[in-house]
Chain A
Amino acid sequence: MRNAANRFVVLSLLLLLGVTVAATTPAADGWSPAQLDELRSLSLGALEPVPADPTNRVADDPRAARLGERLFFDARLSSDGKVACGTCHQPDRDFQDGIALARGVGVTDRRTMPIAATSRSPFLFWDGRKDSLWAQALGPLESPVEHGGTRAQYARVIAEHYRSEYEEVFGPLPDLAAGVEAVTRVFVNLGKAIAAYERRIEFGPSRFDRYVDAIGNRMPTDGRLSDDEVAGLRLFVGKGNCTQCHNGPLLTNNEFHNTGVPRRTGVPIDDGRFAGAAAVLADEFNCRSRWSDAPQHCAELDYLVSDGHQLQRAYKVPSLRNVAGRAPYMNAGQFATLAQVLDHYNRAPAAPAGHSELQPLRLKARELKQLEAFLHSLTGPTIVNGLAGPAR
């Protein structure tokens, strides 16, 4: 009996030791295999290469990208000679401007969006009213409050300052006096060159990515994420329900959702995707347009949801990469801090129009702090791939 009892005690101790070792081993850091798979799906290691853009035949031409980079920072492409794409999309600020409403030659109704990895998004802008990077780039150029100029003016800038670079990529510059067709052709190609540059803007690895690499390779995780950040990550993939929309390696499903974000006072009524879906179908420069290089292959437009209640005040889910350095938040900078954003999601107030998809999370103050801490671990560099010299 005593021997049996001893054996039981020894076995129990061994079992306890085994459980303790398994639970505290640095490689797993307490994550189950299924959770580890989910974490891998959120890390940059899961990011697939930039998809082809058949609508832009120069999308991957480095000459087009170099031309596009120069155009991106050229303030001559504006009515007052002071506004370039890079005025709001500042490379040292994750290609955004840090203010609630973007300022070009006037003030817009929306927050400037960052650019990195948007080549992977089927629809651009907060309301998705454009379906390619080149079509997107053309929008602000003709907006009266952004660049404020005209396509004829921009075509002249190309003719006077970029003729050889343009012709190297697109062939002979058409005679601009020939009319709107020639002007629009040059204007479209200007957008396609800018898109070729923007396609190369990507996210570099964050501390979160290094943490996932470490636990995935059963390496020590010491110092990669703090205890609060790991706790926040558990909430992020757990009861915070964050990955319902912020999923995949870019931490966005690239869709449009109504999360009950309040209206910004002093700007016109904004329907979000409801107006954006109609706009992209009617867009002069969409995938099906005569300016597209692949008008027969527009699956995103073919299967677009263009009406219905769920589009009302639905906005693009932004990537959460570099989110901590990108205040203020939401489509019109309604929230000044991450804490305010998290408080909103925790309370889930009713939407000012349409129906919010949120449910109250009822997280404690400490849990909200942990979630906020985790969001800081998503900060990493923004890089421009394959062009000589760093982004300006």
Chain B
Amino acid sequence: MTTLQLSSANPQLKHLMKTLQRNDRSRARRVALVAVIMAALVGTTACGSTMRLLHGTGAKRPEATEFGLGPRVSANRLYVATLETATELRTRRLQTVRLGIVDADGRAVEGAILAIDGGMPEHGHGLPTRPRMTRVLGAGAYEVEGVRFNMGGWWELKVTITSERGADIVTFNLSL
């Protein structure tokens, strides 16, 4: 490697440094451009179908952090509900789930009645079955049978909880 003894006073060096800085800037611009194109391409392929479906119903898929089995707070903050499944939720089969329900102070909610609804907001259709609360397990736990998802994608499972504390609704966003 050739070693150059250069000082900052050297005008040639100043010129070289400016050229390098210009190159750095243009490289940065190129990198940024490539990144933008890549992001656009990824967006087109990964989200194309979602966007098309969004066009159909206007439904907006929630953030990833809004998905999962909970705990989820009800709309009016009366309850906090957690979904429990014996095995991972799967498509095309009838499944039984459990719901654990506590109030805003964390106390188990007894004597509640649950009503289940839901569907695919992006497709504009409801659940393919009509699940029902079938057992009261005690300590704020309830069993719901007859849950089925007939395709992959974003599903909402809406649980209306009615107890002496009042009626409120918890929405679970599930990704199948």
User: Interface residues, chain B, CB within 8 Å of chain A?
Assistant: 1-2, 45, 48-49, 52-53, 55-56, 91-92, 94, 123-132, 145-146, 148, 150-153
Contact = CB atoms under 8 A, between A and B. Distances in A.
A357 B123 contact: yes
A308 B55 CA distance: 23
B127 A299 contact: no
A304 interface: yes
Interface stretch (A105-113, A243-251, A281-289): A243-251
Contacts of B127: 305
A175 B126 CA distance: 49
A359 interface: yes
Chain A: interface size category: 20 to 34
Interface in A225-261: 238-239, 241, 243-245, 247-248, 253-255
A41 to B, nearest CB: 9
B129 A305 contact: yes
21 contacts: A1-B2, A3-B1, A238-B48, A238-B49, A241-B52, A243-B152, A244-B152, A245-B150, A247-B92, A247-B152, A248-B92, A253-B92, A253-B151, A254-B150, A302-B132, A303-B148, A304-B130, A310-B125, A357-B124, A359-B55, A361-B52
B90 to A, nearest CB: 10
Given A1-B2, A357-B124, A244 B129 contact: no
Given A241-B49, A310-B126, A357-B125, A303 B91 contact: no
Contacts, number: 69
| Secondary structure type dominating chain A contacts | loop
Interface of A: 1-3, 238-239, 241, 243-245, 247-248, 253-255, 299-300, 302-305, 308, 310, 355, 357, 359, 361
B130 A245 contact: no
B28 to A, nearest CB: 18
Nearest to A310: B125
A9 to B, nearest CB: 16
A303 B118 CA distance: 14
A248 B48 CA distance: 22
B2 A303 contact: no
A91 B7 CA distance: 91
Nearest to B53: A359
Given A1-B2, A248-B92, A303 B129 contact: yes
